[in-house]
Amino acid sequence: MLFFRPVRWAFKLLSLFVLALVVYFAVTLVQVWLTSRQYDPRPAQAIVVMGAAQYNGRPSPDLRSRLDGALHLFRLGYAHLVMVTGSKEPGDRFTESQAGFLYLHSLGVPAADIVEAGGDDSWQNLSEAAPILKARGATQVLLVTDPFHEHRSLAIATNVGLTAYPTPTQTSPIRGAATIPYFLKEMVGVSAGRIIGYQYLHTLG
């Protein structure tokens, strides 16, 4: 009997840990979902567009929806500077930020009002964008990305010294049931990022 007591205690502790972990992930998922529904445009110093795929200088549907969201905010006068972000895959001729620049400029945004930063993932996008924005005195930003990606992006923006407000694209091509794996991915990313730091989650994008 004495042998089984520590085993029972270990099982209880393990059960409590698993339960706490499930609750933590569940609460995080709710927070990610609630943030995805926030749209809070306000006067700011810049609009930041998170990078997404491009094809030979043309934005993918996902990137185009983010750029359209930024263009809408720009035309309404919420900010007069747009930061486009993103690097390129091996073999690509254009970066995501270059594709964003070309798209916005073709729709009437002056070249002087668009700035570019690189980055292969969300952390790099914002950590490279932050010093460029700060050099221009722009620390209050509207952050445009897909709704499911907004919570993690806002958290990273805060980590790199920006004050960011949620303005997720309203025209994302990823909708309905298709968003479920993305929300689950963001749940894991936010949960892990809070513990180990978002800068170590490069594989999540």
31 in a domain, yes or no?
A: no
Radius of gyration of the chain from its Cα atoms, rounded to whole angstroms: 20
23 in a domain, yes or no?
A: no
Task: Output the average pLDDT for the chain.
Answer: 94
pLDDT digits (tens, 9 = 90+) for 72-111: 999 999 999 999 999 998 888 999 999 999 999 999 999 9
Q: Write the Ramachandran bin of 52: left for phi over 0, alpha for psi from -120 to 50, otherwise beta.
A: beta
Q: Does the structure show a pLDDT above 80 at 141?
A: yes
Q: How many distinct structural domains can be found in the chain?
A: 1
Categorize the per-residue pLDDT at 7 as very low, low, confident or very high, splitting at 50, 70 and 90: low
103 in a domain, yes or no?
A: yes
Residue at 185: amino acid letter: K
180 in a domain, yes or no?
A: no
Distance CA 190, CA 27 (A): 11
**What's the domain range around 156?**
39-169
123 in a domain, yes or no?
A: yes
Among 29, 95, 90, residue whose Cα is nearest residue 59: 95
| Higher-scoring residue by pLDDT: 6, 66 | 66
pLDDT digits (tens, 9 = 90+) for 156-193: 999 999 999 999 999 999 999 999 999 999 999 999 99
Q: CATH number of the domain that 55 lies in? A: 3.40.50.620
